[in-house]
């Protein structure tokens, strides 16, 4: 039976149209809204980035269709690839103020624990996207119903061509900064949220894959390090003169000069427990974090997450701390928190929520009966203490 021209045209246009719809749905999910300003301010000025994302989804559909020859599965697989990262990006922006990055894939178990305690909810954009994706999947069944079966040779050729085009897009464009910059995609490692707003989730994620690999410095090798260590004595033979009159080096004979120890000073942006170095073989003759360890024995403790830039406000949850805001100012992260729910269940849920997060250690001291709880969050410069409000005593009714 001969296929009509309108149906052939529809079959040719369906993959491109479905890929475009999924791309827009993904951006709607990631941004929370898709307005005219989104197109004017972000999509149209950076059209090349969204064209690459559309082409990626289109080639994924083609590859799945040539391999499986089941259009509904090809449509569903392409839609999952296009929308799932956008949904993850939406939630990561809500939780920490940063988008979904490639290295987040290494923390799947921690993310699952945080998501379960954060009370995440489906958004309207996600529900609508699920309905539209199912509609596209069903439509693909009817559009391609009755399509002739391909022989193995054309099918193999089509699969190979689609795979080659997909690899060329990924390795020849996405992972080549020089090529992406020609298309107007400028790297922005400092403000990744802005980078994703400009270029979209798919393009932002794919171009960030280049940051997973660190180039080896020129001349770096084990032998080069050994040569430096062997020349330590030789490197100490340098002069810092001229010596100033009255200085210690001038007034004290060289053989009587006290030898000072080598002091290595490490300055970090946030507070950390120095005694954790003991697990790497470094020993101390005294407890270098005495106050910190004393707090660990008398309070609930864990680590609160601090994003690398911007800010994040966690949504309220009845059984968890109502709000915790983590900010960054002048390259020194700090946090302020407000705890109003002080029952043991809330404290337990709060500790569960932050136990897998990193950077800022915190301690919550349970309040005395009718008193105020304290939350300590340590930073590079000082420890901020926020007291929860005391409950006002109830007025006694006169009989």
Most confident of 90-94, 129-133, 300-304: 129-133
Lowest mean pLDDT among 10-24, 215-229, 306-320, 338-352: 306-320
User: pTM for the whole thing?
Assistant: 0.61
Do 319 and 365 form a contact (C-beta atoms < 8 A)? no
What pLDDT is recorded for position 217? 77
| DSSP track, 329-396 | ETTEEEEEEE----SHHHHHHHHHHHTT--SEEEEEEPPPTTS--EEEEE-SS-EEEEEPPPPPPPPP
Lowest mean pLDDT among 105-114, 179-188, 241-250, 378-387: 378-387
Q: Is the pLDDT of residue 92 over 60?
A: yes
Q: Dihedral sign, CA of 203, 206, 211, 217? A: negative
Helices (H), the chain: 5-31, 36-38, 47-68, 71-96, 108-118, 124-143, 152-169, 177-182, 192-199, 201-208, 222-230, 232-235, 248-251, 290-298, 344-354
Six-digit token string for 262:
């080598």
What pLDDT is recorded for position 379? 39
Q: Is the pLDDT of residue 19 over 50?
A: yes
**pLDDT band at 278, cuts 50/70/90?**
confident
Lowest mean pLDDT among 31-45, 90-104, 195-209: 90-104
Gap between the Cα atoms of 211 and 19, Å rounded: 27
């Amino acid at each position: 039976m001969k296929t009509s021209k309108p149906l052939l045209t529809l079959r040719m246009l369906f993959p491109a149209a479905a890929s475009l719809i999924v791309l827009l749905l993904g951006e709607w999910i990631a941004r929370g809204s898709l307005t005219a300003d989104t197109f004017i301010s972000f999509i149209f000025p950076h059209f090349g980035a969204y064209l690459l994302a559309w082409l990626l989804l289109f080639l994924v559909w083609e590859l799945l269709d040539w391999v499986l020859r089941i259009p509904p599965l090809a449509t569903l697989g392409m839609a999952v690839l296009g929308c799932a990262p956008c949904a993850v990006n939406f939630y990561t922006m809500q939780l920490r103020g940063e988008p979904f990055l490639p290295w987040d894939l290494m923390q799947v178990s921690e993310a699952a624990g945080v998501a379960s305690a954060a009370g995440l909810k489906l958004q309207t954009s996600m529900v609508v996207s699920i309905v539209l994706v199912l509609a596209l999947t069903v439509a693909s069944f009817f559009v391609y119903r009755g399509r002739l079966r391909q022989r193995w040779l054309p099918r193999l050729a089509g699969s190979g061509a689609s795979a080659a085009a997909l690899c060329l897009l990924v390795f020849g464009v996405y992972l080549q900064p020089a090529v992406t910059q020609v298309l107007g995609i400028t790297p922005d490692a400092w403000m990744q949220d802005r980078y994703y707003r400009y270029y979209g989730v798919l393009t932002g994620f794919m171009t960030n894959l280049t940051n997973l690999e660190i180039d080896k410095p020129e001349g770096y090798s084990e032998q080069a390090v050994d040569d430096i260590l062997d020349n330590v004595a030789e490197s100490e033979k340098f002069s810092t003169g001229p010596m100033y009159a009255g200085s210690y080096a001038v007034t004290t004979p060289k053989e009587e000069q006290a030898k000072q120890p080598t002091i290595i000073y490490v300055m970090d942006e946030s507070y950390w427990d120095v005694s954790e170095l003991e697990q790497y073989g470094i020993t101390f003759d005294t407890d270098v974090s005495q106050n910190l360890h004393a707090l660990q024995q008398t309070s609930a403790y864990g680590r609160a997450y601090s994003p690398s830039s911007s800010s994040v406000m966690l949504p309220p949850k009845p059984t968890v701390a109502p709000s915790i805001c983590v900010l960054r100012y002048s390259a020194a992260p700090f946090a302020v928190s407000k705890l109003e729910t002080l029952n043991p269940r809330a404290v337990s849920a709060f500790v569960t929520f932050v136990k897998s997060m990193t950077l800022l250690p915190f301690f919550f001291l349970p309040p005395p009966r009718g008193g105020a709880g304290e939350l300590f969050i340590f930073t590079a410069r000082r420890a901020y203490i926020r007291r929860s409000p005391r409950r006002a005593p109830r007025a006694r009714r006169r009989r």
